[in-house]
Amino acid sequence: MTGPFPETMDYIGHNAPSRIEAEIYDLVVHGEIPDEIAGAWYQSVPDPQYPPLLGTDTYLSGDGMVRMLRFENGHVDFKQRYVRTERWQLERAARRALFGAYRNPFTDDPSVRGKRRGAANTTPIFHGGRLLALKEDSRPWEVDPRSLETIGEWDYEGRLRSETVTAHPRLDPRTGELYFFGYEASGLASRDVAYCVADKNGQLVREDWFQVPYCALMHDFIVTQEHAVFPGFPIVADLERIEAGGPHWAWDPTKESFVGIMPRDGRVEQMRWFRARPCSVFHFVNGFTEGSKVHIDMCVSEVPAFEFMRVAGDLHVPQHEVQGNLVRWTFDLSKPGDTPEEHVLGPAGDFPRIADKDMMVDYDITYYARVDVNFGPPIVSGPVGVGFNTITRLEVKTGKMTDLFVGPNCTAQEHVHIPSRKPGHEGYLMYIVDRHDQNQAEVHIVEAAHLENGPIARILVPMRLRCGVHGNWVPQT
């Protein structure tokens, strides 16, 4: 028998585990789906099979599902399926949790010692003809892009040495190359980072290792047309604490943030190290090189957005008091200094997306999600425990903002940007809207340039969709 899940933020209300693998053909559509929207939208969703072994855990440990909305000839089909990771298979066979705390193998049931813990729950990326489900503590799992059946762990035909691959690779839209890294590349709490490139056919053509100043949570990174940028923020792993069964991560504001910058095609020995104030960044908007300057734009919160990382560092700040901004750091490589200049670009938010054509170059427009408390009290949804209710289009050069409130009693999951083939058209945003009044979901499509007009199409999904993390749009080929 499977007992109840704990009554903590990670498992209550809209965060209640769904555990439903489902397939729905021909969803009901209100409005008009533009013909040029043809392809598949994949999203990764953490959704634990079993109540946590140790009584409680974080949302970030949930077994990965891949969720797919496939747009074909004006029809929309839905499917979501668990990735059959080794972890998932072992727990399935045992009919209970066997793996313990988030990123702490010392808390596992002895029967799974040495087994792969990766939950493949953060980002689905299509590259080199393969759909890979990523999780930053482990290697990718490959999934069939149509059936969503699990093919197996993907290690670049045995060539990858890193034990880990980030859930935030950067695709160069001009070359088709995938730039990525793995941190804790040689094991738990290690300072080794692997810098990797796969060519447009998905072949691993580069893997070079370097060491960071300390083992920080490195969730995302930046690649410009000329540089690779590796930032770390003081959410710190400590091997002794982990071995004692404690949390993997703890906020430690006595440390500074670090940023390593190297020529992207250069040698890792050319890395130049900068330091910056302690703060927390999970997601970068974009970055670009302008002469001797490297700009990185990011969603900053003054302390970690995840409560469990604050508490492990003995910082007790309620969620609604966590402050932040969209910020640009500028590094001048022609100057001797080792700290960036900082400019505020916009109000706090997360899930920043841009058009593919703008990746790695000077750009103007980003779309990101915010919580606007003027529209009503926060609703529990997603890993941080607060669902977004507003999508914002921000012009970073002028500060011009357009907000789209997604509706009363609603939250929005991460949007994707879909480019248009029409000249001068800014493309579309698509996102899941959770209808907390109905325990159902809708998928909304809006014109990216006209958020103020609201959705041009609403696709009804007759079930609750547990909050996913990241997604990507894959046009029909």
- Residues forming contacts to ligand V55 in the complex (CB under 6 A) are 46, 60, 121-122, 136, 219, 282, 383, 469
Residue 134 beta carbon to ligand V55: minimum distance, rounded to whole angstroms:
9
Residue 58 beta carbon to ligand V55: minimum distance, rounded to whole angstroms:
8
In which region does residue 147 sit, left (phi positive, over 0), alpha (psi from -120 to 50) or beta (all else)?
alpha
> Would you say 60 or 279 has its CB closer to ligand V55?
60
Residue 189 beta carbon to ligand V55: minimum distance, rounded to whole angstroms:
15
Residue 333 beta carbon to ligand V55: minimum distance, rounded to whole angstroms:
29
Give the CA-trace dihedral at 372, 375, 380, 383, to 10 degrees: -20
Is the dihedral angle over the CA atoms 425, 430, 436, 441 positive or is it negative?
positive
> Would you say 202 or 387 has its CB closer to ligand V55?
387
Q: Which residues contact 117 (CB under 8 A, 6 or more apart)?
A: 87, 99, 103, 105, 108, 137, 138
Residue 273 beta carbon to ligand V55: minimum distance, rounded to whole angstroms:
24
> Would you say 34 or 349 has its CB closer to ligand V55?
349
Q: How far is CA 473 from CA 296, 434, 458, in A?
A: 24, 20, 17
Residue 469 beta carbon to ligand V55: minimum distance, rounded to whole angstroms:
5
Query: Whose CA is closest to 27, among 432, 388, 404?
Result: 432
Query: Whose CA is closest to 63, among 79, 76, 52?
Result: 52
Strands (E), 165-203: 170-171, 178-183, 192-198
Burial of residue 347, with CB atoms counted within 10 A of its CB: 0-12 exposed, 13-18 middle, 19 or more buried: middle
Distance CA 381, CA 443 (A): 16
Distance CA 140, CA 52 (A): 23
Structure token digits, residue 463:
């079930």
Per the DSSP assignment, residues forming a β-bridge with 227 are 263
Residue 235 beta carbon to ligand V55: minimum distance, rounded to whole angstroms:
10
> Would you say 164 or 289 has its CB closer to ligand V55?
164
Residue 300 beta carbon to ligand V55: minimum distance, rounded to whole angstroms:
14
> Would you say 167 or 261 has its CB closer to ligand V55?
167
Residue 122 beta carbon to ligand V55: minimum distance, rounded to whole angstroms:
4
> Would you say 33 or 60 has its CB closer to ligand V55?
60
Distance CA 280, CA 452 (A): 31
> Would you say 153 or 226 has its CB closer to ligand V55?
153
The alpha-carbon radius of gyration of the chain (Å, integer) is 21
Structure token digits, residue 344:
């505020």
> Would you say 46 or 340 has its CB closer to ligand V55?
46
Q: Which amino acid is at 300?
A: V
Q: Which residues contact 106 (CB under 8 A, 6 or more apart)?
A: 100, 242, 243, 244, 245
Give the position of tokens 């997601």: 283
Residue 220 beta carbon to ligand V55: minimum distance, rounded to whole angstroms:
9
> Would you say 122 or 392 has its CB closer to ligand V55?
122
Distance CA 9, CA 6 (A): 9
Distance CA 186, CA 204 (A): 18
> Would you say 18 or 289 has its CB closer to ligand V55?
18
> Would you say 304 or 407 has its CB closer to ligand V55?
304
Residue 406 beta carbon to ligand V55: minimum distance, rounded to whole angstroms:
20
